[in-house]
Amino acid sequence: MTEKSVIFFDIDGTLLDHDKKLPDSAKKAVFELKKQGHIVAIATGRAPFMYADLRAELEIDTYVSFNGQYVVVNGEVVYGNPLDIPSLVELTAVGLTNAHPIVFMDELDMKANVPTHKHIIESIDTLKIDHFPTHDPNYYKDRNIYQSLFFCAEGEEEQYREKFPAFDFVRWHPVSVDVLPKGGSKANGIKQAMKAIGIAKENQYAFGDGLNDLEMLSTITNSVAMGNAKEEVKAVSKYVTKDVDQDGIVYGLQLVGLLEK
């Protein structure tokens, strides 16, 4: 067996194909990695409740959620980095004046500050998940909110960047951005996980495709961009594999030497 490694996979466009389905080849690859003694983990912008079924199917209990703000290793929470609540309250108020709604998310659920909005429906529907945010404008009270979804058209988030220095705004959909604690990223989440896992940098791998993968793929020693990744993501990655729909996971694992061709 090769030396023990840890491999972090993004979900959308990486583990899941363009139809939000898990290719059989990717599933078999994950179990082959585990059979070899490697640690297979997930690093995603999704909340934990959004991919519980996927974790169960792949028997994965180490994961980085909310783009690094909520980290679980072997089923135990090892790190949490919630949003600053006073800033979040102000962002919510300013957003309402601009008809930009928000969804609050903790590890268990997500709630919208408005009863309904076309941008919420449009973007959440693309995730093809069973959960949909119901209305609770006070959901941020008395709980940790690790990430929020802020709904505005491309470019409209710029007006909020300077006004809210406590947050990073990372676009994941044409009408929605992730709101993260300033400096929060999958890269930092993986760093926190590594404190518990303790695997050397040269044996750390990560696969991704989106803008929220930039820090992760520019930091992890063995980074792999999917063939369907954005060009700026490919530019910071050590390797580029095939499209997710062309067995990109398997090809990428062969490319880095973790699976035999």
Predicted confidence (pLDDT) per residue in 76-110, tens digit: 999 999 999 999 999 999 999 999 999 999 999 99
Model pLDDT, residue 50: 95
The answer for residues whose C-beta is within 8 angstroms of residue 247's C-beta and 6 or more apart is 23, 25, 26
Model pLDDT, residue 2: 60
- Looking at CATH, the fold of the domain delimited by 85-181 is given as 3.30.1240
Model pLDDT, residue 130: 87
| Chain mean position to CA 243 | 19
DSSP string, 171-236: EEETTEEEEEETT--HHHHHHHHHHHH---GGGEEEEE-SGGGHHHHHHSSEEEE-TTS-HHHHHH
Catalytic residues: 10
Convert 51-103 into a string of H (helix), E (strand) and C (coil): CHHHHHHHCCCCEEEHHHCEEEECCEEEEECCCCHHHHHHHHHHHHHCCCCEE
Write out residues in the chain with pLDDT < 70, as ranges.
1-2
Written out in words, the top-level CATH class of the domain with range 6-80+184-255 is alpha beta
**What is the C-alpha separation between 70 and 46, in angstroms, rounded?**
10
Domains of the chain, residue spans: 6-80+184-255, 85-181
| Chain mean position to CA 193 | 14
Query: What is the tens place of the pLDDT at every residue in 187-203?
Result: 999 999 999 999 999 99
Contact between 225 and 241 under an 8 Å Cβ cutoff? The reply is: yes
| Chain mean position to CA 58 | 17
The answer for residues whose C-beta is within 8 angstroms of residue 117's C-beta and 6 or more apart is 101, 151
Tell me the whole-structure pTM to 2 decimals: 0.93
